[in-house]
Structures are given as structure tokens and as C-alpha cells.
């Protein structure tokens, strides 16, 4: 165990309850140990693992509806997706990450923490457009909102939600993407603040609710994905 890993703050006991507590402790140790050795987390982050990483990600659960299929785009070391799977056993979580060394770490973490509600998927978000469908997309520190929208909307069912963890520039990013939001036919886009009394400052999310894709783009990309599969796989 890393000697730099601090004791969890009191509030962590309120956030990680029941089975989630031992899993959160085990994940903190994985991040501070193999996570740092394998370059998934900078060594200077170790003293901040509880507040900046585990707690900040766990409070996103406040905005996640019950029993959804969630995909965490660019999960890296499992942030926020793996933490959400720990605090919300009712949801099914897909950790989507293109880099092999990161997916290997994620698979090992899922096994060590005995998480039955997590799938690790290797690839880039844009590769799964029209091939997989989810209720919620989460993302932290992956891309600006305009790119996240391009990647997320084709993965979401109509009425599904993108929850993008953003910092101080959240309001500006939202304003800058106004035209794109309008043209992609989303139902709504707003700032949501979560974690009051648990993290300081509270975490800011941009929540975008997907509408029907204009011109049936989502259905078209599904047709394209189907057409590109070999005939035998399509049962023809």
C-alpha cells in the first residue's frame, strides 16, 4: 500500500455505504499502487485520491437514474465509471477505453473488486455509433463538449442522457455549443450541481438529454453498421 494514500475523510463513510465501503478502499489502494506504477495516475494525485477522484466521481451518482445502462467514455483508470459501479449496484456500467494498458488495469480492478455490474470495452467511442445503445453516457476530462456530443448522441437512446463532468468553464462550454446542441435536436441541456455537503466545491455536470436524431441519423448509422457486417453474420 502507498504510504502517501491518506485516511479516507469522514464523509466518505456516508457516500460509500454497505459493500461499497470495502470496494472503495480496495480501489483507492489499486489506484495508489499499480495505478501509479503503470502510469494511469500521476504520483502527485495520490494524496488527493479520496476527495478529488473517488468522492468527486461518486457524487455524480446523484444525477444517474435507477437501473440504467451507463457507458463511461474514456474511462482511463475507471473515473468516474468504476466508482459509479461501486456506489450503484443497480446500474450496469460499460467502461469504454481505447488504450490496452488501461483496459488491462480496468479488467483487473473489476476482478479484484468482484464487481458483477461492469463490462470493460476496448475502443474509441466513435467506433460504437449505432452498434451499442445506452441510457446514460458519463465522461470526465475526455474532450470538449462539442466532441463529446458527436461521440455520445449516437450511443444514446432517445431520451437518454449525457452527463459530462466539467469544471469552472462548464457554463462557457455550454454556451459555445449552443448551435450544435440546437442542430443535433437534443431535448435539453443544462448545468447540474451535485455533491453539496460532500465535496468542496460541489461538482458541476453538463446534462444533455438526447432527442430523436435529425434526419434519422441514429437509425441510418445502425443500418450502415448492419450493412457493413458480413452477410453470414446478418443471417442472409
Ligand X SMILES: C[S@@+](CC[C@H](N)C(=O)[O-])C[C@H]1O[C@@H](n2cnc3c(N)ncnc32)[C@H](O)[C@@H]1O
Instruction: Name the minimum Å distance from CB 149 to ligand X.
Output: 13
- Closer Cβ to ligand X, 74 or 195, answer by number: 74
Q: CB burial class (10 A; 0-12, 13-18, 19+) of residue 90? A: exposed
Residue 166, interface with ligand X (CB under 6 A)? no
Residues 6+ apart with CB under 8 A from 235: none
Instruction: Name the minimum Å distance from CB 142 to ligand X.
Output: 4
Contact region for ligand X (CB under 6 A) — 15-23, 31-39, 95-103, 176-184?
95-103
Binder of ligand X out of 4, 37, 52, 99 (CB under 6 A): 99
Q: Is 143 annotated as a binding residue?
A: no
Q: Is 140 annotated as a binding residue?
A: yes
Within the chain, what is the greatest distance between any pair of CA atoms?
60
Return d(Cα 68, Cα 137) in angstroms, integer.
10
Return d(Cα 174, Cα 212) in angstroms, integer.
20
Instruction: Name the minimum Å distance from CB 139 to ligand X.
Output: 7
Binder of ligand X out of 91, 142, 149, 162 (CB under 6 A): 142
Residue 35, interface with ligand X (CB under 6 A)? no
Binder of ligand X out of 73, 86, 106, 206 (CB under 6 A): 73
- Closer Cβ to ligand X, 12 or 49, answer by number: 49
Element (DSSP H or E) covering residue 97: strand 92-97
DSSP string of 108-138, one letter each residue: HHHHHTT-TTEEEEES-GGGGTTT--EEEEE
Residue 79, interface with ligand X (CB under 6 A)? yes
Alpha-carbon distances, residue 168 vs 59, 178, 193, 214 (angstroms): 17, 18, 12, 31
Return d(Cα 153, Cα 84) in angstroms, integer.
21
Q: What is the x/- site pattern for ligand X, positions 101-140, by CB under 6 A?
A: -x---------------------xxx-------------x
The span from the first CA to the last CA of the chain, in angstroms, equals 55
Binder of ligand X out of 74, 130, 160, 195 (CB under 6 A): 74
Contact region for ligand X (CB under 6 A) — 1-9, 43-51, 67-75, 202-210?
67-75
Binder of ligand X out of 141, 171, 191, 220 (CB under 6 A): 141
Which one, of 176, 190, 185, 166, lies nearest residue 146 by Cα? 176
Residues 6+ apart with CB under 8 A from 157: 133, 134, 135, 210
Binding residues: 74, 79, 125-126, 140
**Using CB under 6 A as the criterion, which residues of the chain lie in contact with ligand X when the complex forms?**
73-77, 79, 96-99, 102, 124-126, 140-142
Amino acid at each position: 500500500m502507498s504510504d502517501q494514500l491518506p485516511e479516507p475523510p469522514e464523509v466518505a463513510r456516508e457516500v460509500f455505504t454497505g459493500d461499497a465501503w470495502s470496494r472503495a478502499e480496495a480501489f483507492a489502494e489499486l489506484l495508489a499502487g499499480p495505478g501509479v506504477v503503470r502510469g494511469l495516475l500521476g504520483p502527485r494525485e495520490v494524496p488527493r485520491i479520496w476527495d478529488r477522484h473517488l468522492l468527486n466521481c461518486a457524487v455524480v451518482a446523484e444525477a444517474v437514474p435507477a437501473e440504467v445502462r451507463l457507458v463511461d467514455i474514456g474511462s482511463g483508470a475507471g473515473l468516474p465509471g468504476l466508482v459509479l459501479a461501486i456506489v450503484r449496484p443497480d446500474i450496469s456500467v460499460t467502461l469504454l477505453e481505447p488504450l490496452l494498458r488501461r483496459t488491462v488495469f480496468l479488467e483487473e480492478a473489476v476482478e479484484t473488486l468482484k464487481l458483477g455490474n461492469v463490462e470493460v470495452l476496448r475502443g474509441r467511442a466513435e467506433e460504437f455509433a449505432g452498434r451499442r445503445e445506452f441510457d446514460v453516457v458519463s465522461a470526465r476530462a475526455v474532450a470538449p463538449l462539442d466532441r463529446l456530443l458527436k461521440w455520445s448522441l449516437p450511443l444514446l437512446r432517445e431520451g437518454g442522457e449525457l452527463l459530462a463532468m466539467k469544471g469552472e468553464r462548464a457554463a462557457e462550454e455550454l454556451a459555445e455549443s449552443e448551435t450544435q446542441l440546437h442542430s443535433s435536436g437534443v431535448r435539453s441541456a443544462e448545468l447540474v450541481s451535485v455533491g453539496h455537503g460532500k465535496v468542496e466545491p460541489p461538482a458541476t455536470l453538463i446534462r444533455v438529454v438526447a432527442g430523436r436524431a435529425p434526419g434519422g441519423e441514429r437509425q441510418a448509422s445502425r443500418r450502415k453498421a448492419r450493412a457493413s457486417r458480413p452477410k453470414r453474420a446478418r443471417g442472409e
